[in-house]
Structure 1
Amino acid sequence: MRRIFLSLFLLLSQACAVAETGYSEFSGNWIAVQGGSSNDGTPYSTFEVSLSVEEEKIIGSYCYVTRYGAKIDCDPEEENIYGVINAKTGVATVDFNSSFGAKGGVANLSIRDNVLVWQVIRQPIGGEYYGPNFSTLKATGN
């Protein structure tokens, strides 16, 4: 009986350690630059995501600037990403809103080869949404 208890304890400890490591991978600032640059070097689009993780909960914000800065879907004062990380798959399912009034978007976030993968499952509705449906973002180091 004692061996069974010890084995279960060790197994659960390892599972928790793996889960916590996977969760912290999401934390930080991420960026993707898309499309060509204008004459002054301005990229066509930039997509920035800032995330923090507490236990299995993930919260943050995104800022999408496109059309060489003509459309900016960003509210630096407001968090617009909320979700939960699935401990078995390591995928975060998040709800998000656009600063152009669109609400109820859903995306899956995952980490692959130190890159954040953003995959929209359902676009937000009731306003405008200019963000990407799919993007791979690199950590900014901040």
Structure 2
Amino acid sequence: MILRHINRVKRMILKLANLFFVSCLLSFPVLAAQPFSGQWSAESDSPDGTPLSTLSLNLVQQGQNLTGSYCYVTQRGSRIDCPEQGVDNLHGTVNGASATVVFDSSFGGKKGKAELTLNNGKLSWSLLAEPQDGEFYAPKTYQLDKSQQVLVGKKTAVASNTKAKNADSDELVILTKTYKISIDQNCQEGEVSCDNVTYHSLNKKNNKEITLKGKVINKKPSMDFAGYEFDNGDYAYTLTPDYSASDSKYEYWVLNVFKGNKVVFSEIGKSSIN
């Protein structure tokens, strides 16, 4: 009787082990790399260097499922088709190096369809079907580049990296494709929050300059450093750090310009010693 019970237990353990092994095999694709995830963006310029349009995609891939948002600014900024902040207006399915997505326009058009294709580190957008039942602004084709991202958790890491690159100056300089941005934090060293930050930018294409006042963004309740925000009348500017481990000499930042809750402009830049 005892021997029969022991054999029954052994068979049960073996069965459970086999089930665990199969479940690990089934879950492996979920743990694999998610190449579509990230922020993708690009510009199309006129012959004089003025941006004609900007397309930004923020994508999250989970297995074969793809969600996120598309933001298209065209006609030199006079048409802005972007969702409310934090709202997903795009979803689809991944099949290898391509994905078919359905998207909605903030102008009312619904269920547009596009194909996204990965090739040599770039993402191609091809419009398959126009949104229906409303206006929309979306390009027929576009080729986008990906922002290099590594998550950083604590304010101490952000502060130490910034100081290392700007040891002789309190001014942080960020270079994007369009702007040279200078950030001057006019508070005592070591202060977690600061309400006296100066933003100065130079448009490298038309030499226009702008100076704004703002503050440090802190995550609550931890008060971790999360970037800067600045007020410009109906518009709000944010600069948020996005560090790359591939080159410790640079820090990556994302510039977003909001009108209300809508992102009307987005660009990625690198910090540089001033």
Q: Same fold judged by TM-score > 0.5?
A: yes
Distance 1:124 1:109 in 2: 16
Partner of 2:90: 81
In the TM superposition, residue 128 of structure 1 has moved relative to its aligned partner by: 1.3
Deviations 1:4-28 (A, max 9, x none): xxxxx9xxx6xx56x933xx11110
Partner of 1:20: 32
Match of 2:76 among 53, 68, 80: 68
Partner of 2:104: 97
Match of 1:52 among 57, 60, 66: 60
Distance 1:95 1:80 in 2: 8
SS of 1:121's equivalent? strand
Distance 1:62 1:54 in 2: 18
Contact 1:97 1:105 in 2 (8 A): yes
SS of 2:105's equivalent? coil
CA 1:76–1:140 in structure 2 vs 1: closer, same or farther (change >3 Å)?
A: farther
CA 1:37–1:46 in structure 2 vs 1: closer, same or farther (change >3 Å)?
A: farther
AA partner of residue 85 (structure 1):
V
CA 1:37–1:140 in structure 2 vs 1: closer, same or farther (change >3 Å)?
A: farther
AA partner of residue 32 (structure 2):
E
Distance 1:64 1:44 in 2: 11
1:32 aligns with 2:42: yes
TM-score (norm 2): 0.42
Distance 2:133 2:88 in 1: 19
In the TM superposition, residue 97 of structure 1 has moved relative to its aligned partner by: 0.7
TM-score (norm 1): 0.77
Deviations 1:48-102 (A, max 9, x none): 000011111000001111111100000142211101112xx43111110111000
CA 1:103–1:112 in structure 2 vs 1: closer, same or farther (change >3 Å)?
A: same
Gaps of 5+ in 1: 1-8
Taking only the aligned residue pairs, the percentage that are identical comes to 38
Larger Rg: 2
1:114 aligns with 2:121: yes
Gaps of 5+ in 2: 1-20, 150-274
Distance 2:71 2:50 in 1: 16
Contact 1:96 1:105 in 2 (8 A): yes
AA partner of residue 51 (structure 1):
L
Contact 2:72 2:138 in 1 (8 A): yes
Calculate the aligned-residue CA RMSD, in Å. 2.7
Matched residues, number: 128
In the TM superposition, residue 37 of structure 1 has moved relative to its aligned partner by: 7.1
Instruction: For CA contacts below 8 A with separation 6 or more, give which structure has more relative contact order.
Output: 1
